[in-house]
Chains A and B, each alone.
Chain A
C-alpha cells in the first residue's frame, strides 16, 4: 500500500483534532476533567479509567498496524492526537504499554506473546513499567548489570533497576538484562518480560522533590522468569531497545504541553492586576511572553516539519531530538515564568499537600497543580534521553562528528 498523500494525512489529522476536542467536551467524565484541569495528581484508578476511555474511542493503540487492533495511524495523526490532548490539558497517555512495549511485542515477539500480551495492553487490563535504567546505567544504558542466567525452562534474574516509573502499580515490567557477560556491552543484552508478582521482586519508592514517589527502585533477587517471556532472540535486546527508544522519542506531547502552559501563563497575565496594571501590560512580562510565543511558533512549525518528514520517510534522524530538546527546555522555562508570575501563590504550597485534593492556601485553584507539574517536569530534560545525550546522538549520527 503506498502512503496516502500529505494533503490527505493533514485533513485526517485535522478531523482527528476535532474529534479529540469533542471527546474532551462531551465524553470525558467531569471529575477526571476537573482533576486534570487543576493538574491534580491522578490515582492508578484514574489512569486506568482514562486509558480505557481512550481505548473505547478506538485511540489507545490506533498507531499500531491494523492486524494488531490498530488503525495504522500515520505519524501525523499520532502527533495530532497527542498534541491535541496535551493542549486541552488532558491526563498523560501512559506510554509504557501502548507506546513502548506493545510495538516491541508485535514487531519482535512470538505469536504466543502477541496473543498473550497485546489485548491487555490495548485495554490497560495490565499495567506496564519500563525497567531500563540502573544505578550504574543511566545515560550509558549499555552499562547495565542486571543478569539473567538460563536455567532449564526459565531465567534467574538478579540486579537492580532504578527510576522505574509507576512500578508500584505495574503488573509487568519489561526489562533489559544481561544474558552474556563476556560479550561486547550491547550484544550481551536481552529483553525480558517480568511478572511483578514473581517472588524476589521488591519495589522501593523514591520520593522526588514534589513530595511524591512516581519512581521506584526495583530489586530483583533470584527472580524466576519463564524462558517464553524472552522477546525475540537472546542477545538481541539492544536492537529492540533502540527500536523502543525511537518510539519514546517521537515528538509526543511536549509541544502540546508547552502550548498549554503558555496559554495558562497568558490567562494569568490577563487576569492579574498589579499596581493597577494587568500583568500582561507590564513591559517585562509582555516582552517575555512575546519571546515565548516566538519560540513556540518555531517549535510548532519544526514539529510539523519533522512529523511530515516521518510520514514520507525523508527524515534525517535529528527531528525527534530537536523537538524533545527544544520542547522540554521551552516547557520548563515557561513553567518557571508562570510560577514566578504567581508570586506569593507560586511558592505557597506544602509539597506534602500537592498530592491531595485540597485547595492551595493562596492564588488560583490550580496553583498547587501548577507547582506539582513544575517540579515533576524539571526531570523532562533528564528522562527519555537527557538533552545532553540527545545532542550527542545528533552530533554523531546526523552530523557525523
Chain B
C-alpha cells in the first residue's frame, strides 16, 4: 500500500513551509547552542504538524506513510539540517516498534511517539567485544553511537538471546543497570554510548509472528533509504548554493563560473544529484518488494549515495574557496552532517558488500 501523491505533496509543502518560517540557517544557530542538541520547541511543532505520527496507522491517528512519504520529510530534514530526532525516533525506531511491538507495547508507546513526549532511539551498534545478550529478563552488553541516545526516554536495543537468536528489547534509558554517556557529534546533534549491566528489558514480540531478524533487516534498510532521502535534500541544496555562488563570485574580472574547469565539475555534481534522486526513488519502491531485490537496490543506493553526496559536498567547499571552510557558511554544516550520516546504521562498505553479493547472485 502506498501513500497517495496528494498526501505526499501536502506533507512536503507543509514541512517546507515550516522550515522556511522556523528553521532558517540563522534561526538554527540557537538550536546548535542548546544542550539537548535539538530544539524542544521545534520538536513539539513537528508533533503538532503530525510529522511524528507519519508512520503510524490511520487508526492510531497517523498517516500510514510509506517510504516515499518518509522521504518527503527527510529531504527537508536534510535541506534545512533539522537537528530533531525525526530520523532516529519518528522514522527508524517507530518503524521497528510497528513491526515488532505487541499490541499492548504499541498502545503504550505510539501515542507518546506521536505527540513527541517520548523520544525513542534505536541502539544497534554493539561495542566491540561487548555484544548485547538477553537472558530472558535482563540485558548485558554495550552499544555505541546511538543517535539521540543522549535525550532518548526509551531504547529499542538489538541483542541476541542465550540461544544466539536475534531479539529486540525495550529498555528504559534511565532504568537501573543502564549507564549512559551522552556526547555531541561533529554536526552538533547528540548521541550516546550505553552499557547494560543486567538492565531490565522487555522483549518485543508481535502477534504477527514476524521474526526479529526480519524486522531488524527491514528496519536497517528503512534507515538506509531515509538517509538517502536526507542526502538528496542536502545535495540539492549544495548544488543550488554553489551554482548561485559561481554566478556571483568574481575573480580576474569575471564570475568564477565562467571558467570551464569549474563548469564541468558543476555539471558532474548535477549528474550526481540526479543519480542520487533516481536511486533514492528506486530504493523507496524496493523497500516494499521481494527481499533479494530489496537488498540489491537499497544497499546499492546507500553505498552510492554516501560516496556521491560526499563528492558533491567536497566540490561545494572547494568552489567556495576560503568561505567554504568557515562555520558561518551553511556549506560546512552540510559537510559535517554528511560525515555523521555516513557513519550511521551501516556504513558504505557494509552496504557495498551486500550490494555486490546480491548483484552477483542474480
Contacts and interface: CB of A to CB of B under 8 A. Distances in A.
Given A139-B252, A162-B322, A361-B193, A344 B336 contact: no
B336 A209 contact: yes
Contacts of A344: 125, 144-145, 191, 343
Nearest to B333: A209
Range of interface residues on B (Cβ < 8 Å)? 35 or more
B262 A388 contact: yes
B327 A208 contact: yes
Nearest to A133: B322
A349 interface: yes
B185 interface: yes
A378 B328 contact: no
Contacts of B193: 361-362
A140 B322 contact: no
Interface string B326-353: 1110001101100110110001110011
Nearest to A374: B339
B144 A362 contact: yes
A207 B326 contact: yes
Most-contacted residue by chain A among B188, B253, B349 (CB, 10 A): B349
A284 B354 CA distance: 12
A343 B322 contact: no
B86 interface: no
Given A209-B332, A347-B343, A163 B251 contact: no
Interface stretch (A11-19, A95-103, A379-387): A379-387
B317 A378 contact: yes
B95 interface: no
A36 to B, nearest CB: 22
A122 B343 CA distance: 46
Contacts of A336: 310
A378 B261 CA distance: 20
Interface in B224-269: 250-253, 256, 259, 261-262
A252 interface: no
A213 B181 CA distance: 29
Contacts of B125: 343-344
Contacts of A351: 186, 188, 336
Tell me the dominant secondary structure on chain A's binding face: mixed
Range of interface residues on A (Cβ < 8 Å)? 35 or more
B128 A382 contact: no
B251 A208 contact: no
Contact of B252 (A140, A282, A332): A140
Given A209-B327, A348-B183, A361-B193, A138 B322 contact: yes
Interface string A323-335: 0000000001000
Contact of A347 (B185, B327, B352): B185
Contact of A140 (B181, B251, B336): B251
Nearest to A136: B250
A207 B327 contact: yes
B325 A349 contact: no
Contacts of B340: 347
A364 interface: no
Contacts of A215: 322
A386 B252 contact: no
Interface string B280-303: 000000000000000000000000
B229 to A, nearest CB: 20
A274 B188 CA distance: 27
B251 A138 contact: yes
Contact of B349 (A206, A272, A285): A285
Given A140-B251, A206-B326, A284 B353 contact: yes
Interface in A334-381: 336, 339-340, 343-344, 346-353, 361-362, 371, 375, 378-379, 381
Nearest to B320: A382
Contacts of A282: 349
A225 to B, nearest CB: 25
Contacts of B145: 343-344, 347-348, 362
Most-contacted residue by chain B among A162, A336, A361, A362 (CB, 10 A): A361
Nearest to A138: B321
B318 interface: yes
A272 B144 CA distance: 15
B28 interface: no
Contacts of B252: 139-140, 143
A245 interface: no
Nearest to B187: A347
B220 interface: no
A340 B347 contact: yes
Interface string B179-203: 0010111111001010000000000
A273 interface: yes
Contacts of B353: 284
B308 to A, nearest CB: 14
B324 interface: yes
Given A138-B321, A282-B349, A211 B327 contact: yes
Contacts of B262: 388
Contacts of B322: 133, 138, 162-163, 215, 379, 382-383
Contacts of A273: 128
Contacts of A21: none
A284 B303 CA distance: 12
Contacts of A143: 251-253
A391 interface: yes
Given A138-B321, A343-B347, A350 B183 contact: yes
B334 to A, nearest CB: 10
A12 to B, nearest CB: 38
Contacts of B185: 347-350
A139 B349 CA distance: 37
Nearest to B191: A348
Contacts of A285: 349
Contacts of B261: 388, 391-392
Interface string A191-224: 0000000000000001111010001000000000
15 contacts: A136-B250, A138-B322, A140-B251, A143-B253, A207-B328, A209-B327, A209-B335, A339-B339, A344-B144, A351-B186, A353-B184, A362-B183, A375-B325, A378-B317, A391-B261
Closest 9 CB pairs of A and B: A344-B145, A350-B184, A209-B332, A361-B183, A140-B251, A207-B327, A140-B252, A347-B340, A344-B144
Interface of A: 133, 136, 138-140, 143, 162-163, 206-209, 211, 215, 272-274, 282, 284-285, 332, 336, 339-340, 343-344, 346-353, 361-362, 371, 375, 378-379, 381-383, 386-388, 391-392
Given A138-B251, A209-B325, A348-B185, 9 more contacts: A136-B250, A143-B251, A208-B332, A346-B339, A347-B186, A349-B184, A361-B183, A362-B183, A382-B317
